Amino acid sequence: MKNEVDSEPNRLGPDDAAEVLDLISTGYEPHVLAGSVYSSDKALAYLRDVICDNDNHFYGYFLGNELACVIHLKILEEWIHLNHIVTVDHYKGRGFASAMMSFVLRIANSYNKSVSLDVDSENGTVKSWYASFGFMDVDSEKKQLLTSDGHECDFLKKVSLDDNGPWSSYGVDFGRLQIDNFGLEIPVGLVSPCTFNINSAFLREGVADYILTQNRGCSIVAHGPDSLSDSEFFKKEWVAYRMVRKV
C-alpha cells in the first residue's frame, strides 16, 4: 500500500493496529501517555476493537509498506476530538502532518463540527503549529507524575472496583482506594499493570507518599492544581492544554 502526501490518507483497520500502537507509543514522551489506555499492557486489544468502529476513525499515510503518519479522530455528537496526530521521526518535515490536519478540517467542515485536541505544555512548537490552523486555548489542567521503584505492586487487591464493563478488558478500571491510616476512601482510575489516576486534592499531606510506599513499582498520574513537588516520588509536572478550532 502506498500514499503520496498530496493524496487522501487511508482508513486504517485491525490489521494496522500493532503498527499504529508502535507509532503512538514512540511518538510521545512517556509521561504524556502515562495513565492512559495506551500505557496499558492491553492497549493492542483496545486498538483492535476501536480502530474501525463508528465513532473512532484512524487514518494513515504509508510510504511503501511503512506507516509514516497516523491520526485518530473521535466523532462525538457535538464536535470532533483529535486524539492523536503522529509522524515517524525520519519522515517529519515532509508535509505529512500538515496534509493530515487539512484532511481533518475537511472532515470537520463536512460534519459542520468544531475540532478539539489536547497538547502538552512542553511541546510549545506543536502548540504553535496547531494555533496556525486556527486552534485556540479553551482550558488547561496541571498534571504530575510520581513513581516508586520496585516490584511489589499489587494495588488491585486494595481497590474496590466499580462495574467498568468493556474497559476492564483493556486494562482500565475505576474504583475506590481505602487508605485506613488516613481514614480516606478516594476515587481512583487504574491502568494495568500499575498506574493510578488520582485527583491531586486527595494526595496532599503525605497521602501520595504513603500510597507509593505501600505499592512499590507503581506510578501516580495526579490531575489538578495541588502541588505534590515535595513528595520523595515526584518526577515531573506539566500542563495539558485543551485547544479548539470552532466551526
pLDDT tens-digit series, residues 91-133? 999 999 999 999 999 999 999 999 999 999 888 899 999 999 9
Cα–Cα distance, 16 to 11 (Å, whole number): 10
pTM of the entire structure? 0.89
| AA identity, residue 213 | T
pLDDT exceeding 90 applies to what percent of the chain?
Answer: 72
- Report residue 175 as a C-alpha cell: 474504583
C-alpha distance from residue 181 to each of 66, 156, 178 (Å): 53, 18, 9
What is the rounded average pLDDT of the residues 8-27?
95
- Could you tell me which residues are beta bridge partners of residue 69? 61, 87
How many beta carbons lie within 10 A of that of residue 116, not counting itself? 20
C-alpha distance from residue 162 to each of 172, 177, 201 (Å): 11, 11, 21
pLDDT tens-digit series, residues 169-200? 898 989 998 888 888 899 999 898 889 999 99
